[in-house]
């Protein structure tokens, strides 16, 4: 990889492109105030304060102006000036937001970058001149809040991307077009899987029958996999006394909780997490070292007040169901338990078709809960478990959360995008706060290791990932409707309904399309709904008690006996096959 292709170099290029964007906006729309303009994953953005909303035509004009500045190859120069001078400079330019930033964040000397008349408060670094910024594209505009405060100023955020060569940006724009086609929000509506309703409130998901069918399949498989791996299943309430969340530290450290609910003079709280409930089950009686490890799993629905600006379909919601689990184990069991979770995670993810992933091990940050020796033991156990399975991983030094080290597994989807799913997290904080213990072989009280663990993350988010992974064309075992039966004429309806009854008895998700439409039309509808198996029945099929089979995306297979069809489809579903071969 060349320097120009490195992530660090791309960040510099994209941050420079954000300045080029701001320069163009100020040139075209004088009086606009500029906020911040960082490089982000796959691109950059800049925030602006302006009364008039930016239009698509404005974006095209801004991009054209950016191209003009690029062709002029304007030098980009760093300036270091006294703080008071910087404040005066931005006041004179009418940039009050920059004045605020300098007053709040700058030291005695202020780093600024200048290109022609445009000056920005910035630490840098930047490319040497605007001529280095050649391959860029403005993508969209959305709302944003100044400093992330929903009560603050409403800004406009323009997003863009930039690369060092034309091929890379062309490839990325093609990927974006494909991502639009796969957008789970679009497909969710087209395939009648789920919806939102503003009358209920943003970020609250309504699962439709088809989406509910897929969810049940996921849940059934998840429960089966956990029971086989020695987990017990828990079911816990949706609210708890606020004191529980004070003990856990959520009221102090977690800012996504809903306001308390009052009942009988007591404050209750919608649960943002399942952990305290599982700990309460552990504490329901004294535990012995002989009982450990205890593995408990729950599909627990939680509620978090995410800001409206970050809500994104199934991927970021206010109510969602976590595939949560907690493992309580002795120190001598820790390594084996971690390894066991890793194997379960990889097995489950592969079953859903995810065979590529990146693994990250995050270690102790400077500020942390728990004893250093416990951190060292836990980190060593995580590392050894990964090495035992010969798994490649990256160490994120100091990036663990304050309460323990963790392993994150990020899957790669069909577009090579990364999605955070599996997390294996040690927790020294809650174990201490709730004073959980077990009686050891020596008769003394000891503190168990507490492992938080999620495999899929949340059902909602994982479903969104599945929709985009398969573009709505789910594998047969996951498909909301596995078989549609299309009678050619009314006289074939009885046979079609008989087949439907047989399939349903076998647990196959089927339905009969009895609409008085031409069969060609009904086939197109079934293909559009991405139903894996389409069965056409007419006079010949009724007479021979057979079916004519069509496989989605593959076309007509021909006449098949009912017994052969049943045997094959049951085998495909049982094996959770990712493709259909008849």
Neighbours of 253 (CB within 10 A): 10
Which of 184, 250, 406, 492 is labelled catalytic? Answer: 406
326 is catalytic: yes
The token duo for 23 is 């320069």
Which of 98, 122, 157, 275 is labelled catalytic? Answer: 275
208 is catalytic: no
322 is catalytic: yes
| β-strands 39-40, 33-34 pairing | unpaired
324 is catalytic: yes
Report the C-alpha gap between 158 and 173 in whole angstroms: 17
Which of 65, 126, 278, 452 is labelled catalytic? Answer: 452
Which of 33, 95, 115, 322 is labelled catalytic? Answer: 322
Report the C-alpha gap between 168 and 232 in whole angstroms: 49
| β-strands 239-241, 266-270 pairing | antiparallel
Which of 324, 374, 408, 500 is labelled catalytic? Answer: 324
376 is catalytic: no
Three-class SS string for 201-222?
A: CCCCCEECHHHHHHHHHHHHHH
- The full length of the chain comes to 582
Q: Please list, in sequence order, all residues whose beta carbon lies within 8 angstroms of the beta carbon of residue 273, skipping any fewer than 6 positions away.
A: 248, 250, 302, 322, 324
Report the C-alpha gap between 434 and 279 in whole angstroms: 8
Q: Please list, in sequence order, all residues whose beta carbon lies within 8 angstroms of the beta carbon of residue 264, skipping any fewer than 6 positions away.
A: none
CA 423 to chain centre: 13
Distances (CA, A) of 24 to 29, 44, 48: 8, 15, 12
Report the C-alpha gap between 296 and 322 in whole angstroms: 13
Which of 14, 326, 364, 522 is labelled catalytic? Answer: 326
The token duo for 521 is 């039309």
Taking phi over 0 as left and psi of -120 to 50 as alpha, with beta for the rest, 203 belongs to left
Q: Which residue's entry shows tokens 């405060």?
A: 149
| β-strands 287-288, 438-439 pairing | parallel
Q: Please list, in sequence order, all residues whose beta carbon lies within 8 angstroms of the beta carbon of residue 235, skipping any fewer than 6 positions away.
A: 298
Which of 304, 330, 522, 552 is labelled catalytic? Answer: 304
Helix (H, G, I), strand (E, B) or coil at 159: strand
User: Which residues carry out catalysis?
Assistant: 275, 304, 322, 324, 326, 406, 452
């Amino acid at each position: 990889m060349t320097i120009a292709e490195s992530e660090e170099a791309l960040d510099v290029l994209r941050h420079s492109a954000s300045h080029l964007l701001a320069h163009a906006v100020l040139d075209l729309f004088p009086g606009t105030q500029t906020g911040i303009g960082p490089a982000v994953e796959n691109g950059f953005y800049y925030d602006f304060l302006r009364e008039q909303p930016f239009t698509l035509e404005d974006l095209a004009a801004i991009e054209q102006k950016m191209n003009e500045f690029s062709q002029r190859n304007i030098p980009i120069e760093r300036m270091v000036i006294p703080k008071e001078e910087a404040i005066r400079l931005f006041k004179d330019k009418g940039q009050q937001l920059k004045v605020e930033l300098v007053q709040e964040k700058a030291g005695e000397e202020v780093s600024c970058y200048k290109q022609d008349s445009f000056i920005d408060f910035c630490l840098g670094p930047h490319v040497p001149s605007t001529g280095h910024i050649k391959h860029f594209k403005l993508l969209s505009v959305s709302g944003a809040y100044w400093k992330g405060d929903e009560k603050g100023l409403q800004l406009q955020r323009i997003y863009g991307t930039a690369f060092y060569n034309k091929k890379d940006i062309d490839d990325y724009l093609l990927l974006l077009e494909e991502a639009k086609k796969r957008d789970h929000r679009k497909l969710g509506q087209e395939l009648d899987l789920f919806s939102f309703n503003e009358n209920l409130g943003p970020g609250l998901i309504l699962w439709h029958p088809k989406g509910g069918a897929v969810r049940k399949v996921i849940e059934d498989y998840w429960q089966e996999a956990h029971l086989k791996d020695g987990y017990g299943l828990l079911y816990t309430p949706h609210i708890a006394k606020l004191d529980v969340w004070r003990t856990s530290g959520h009221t102090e450290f977690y800012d996504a909780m809903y306001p308390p609910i009052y009942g009988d003079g007591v404050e209750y709280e919608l649960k943002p997490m399942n952990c305290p409930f599982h700990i309460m089950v552990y504490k329901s009686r004294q535990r012995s070292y002989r009982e450990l490890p205890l593995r408990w799993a729950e599909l627990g629905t939680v509620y978090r007040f995410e800001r409206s600006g970050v809500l994104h379909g199934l991927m970021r919601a206010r109510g969602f169901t976590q595939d949560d689990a907690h493992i309580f184990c002795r120190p001598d069991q820790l390594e084996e338990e971690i390894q066991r979770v890793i194997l379960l995670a990889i097995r489950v993810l592969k079953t859903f078709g995810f065979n590529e992933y990146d693994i990250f091990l995050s270690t102790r940050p400077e500020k942390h809960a728990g004893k250093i020796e416990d951190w060292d033991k836990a980190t060593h156990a995580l590392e050894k478990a990964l090495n035992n399975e010969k798994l490649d991983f990256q160490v994120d030094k100091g990036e663990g959360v304050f309460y323990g080290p963790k392993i994150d597994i990020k899957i790669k989807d069909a577009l090579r995008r990364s999605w955070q799913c599996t997390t294996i997290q040690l927790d020294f904080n809650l174990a201490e706060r709730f004073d959980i213990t077990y009686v050891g072989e020596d008769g003394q009280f000891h503190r168990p290791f507490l492992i938080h663990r999620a495999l899929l993350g949340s059902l909602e988010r994982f479903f969104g990932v599945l929709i985009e992974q398969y573009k709505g064309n789910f594998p047969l075992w996951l498909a909301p409707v596995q078989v549609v039966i299309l009678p050619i004429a009314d006289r074939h309806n009885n046979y079609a309904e008989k087949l439907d009854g047989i399939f349903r008895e076998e647990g196959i998700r089927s339905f009969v399309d009895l609409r008085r439409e031409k069969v060609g039309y009904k086939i197109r509808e079934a293909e559009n709904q991405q139903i894996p198996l389409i069965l056409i029945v007419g006079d010949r099929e009724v007479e021979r008690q057979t079916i004519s089979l069509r496989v989605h995306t593959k076309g007509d297979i021909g006449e098949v006996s009912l017994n052969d069809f049943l045997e094959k489809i049951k085998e495909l579903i049982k094996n959770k096959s990712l493709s259909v071969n008849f």
